[in-house]
Amino acid sequence: MTTVPLPTADTRWRCALCGNLTRFDVTRSSKVIEYVHLDLAGESKVEEREVVSETIESVRCRWCNAVDQIELVDRPGAGS
């Protein structure tokens, strides 16, 4: 399993196989701290959420189903 880096303000994901830039299935693991508010009826609502750590396990292209073919490329106008 290859770790896929997150896109930044200057980069975005692209499928190296088909060129897709817009549709991906992302599998991620997260460790979070949540402040949960329960009303008197017992219904819960998350009012605050802090992500302690997050790892992207895989990114699959929705167009061609390629896995481990996702790369980071520059966004249009990045660095201008």
For 46-74, write each residue's pLDDT tens digit: 999 999 998 898 999 999 999 989 999 99
Contact 78, 24 (CB under 8 A): no
pLDDT tier at 26, thresholds 50, 70, 90: very high
**Which residue in this structure is represented by tokens 């292209």?**
61
The residue type found at 30 is S
Q: Determine the Cα–Cα distance for residues 6 and 68; give it in Å rounded to an integer.
A: 14
Whole-structure pTM value: 0.71
- Cα separation, 24 vs 15, in Å, equals 9
Contact between 70 and 4 under an 8 Å Cβ cutoff? The reply is yes
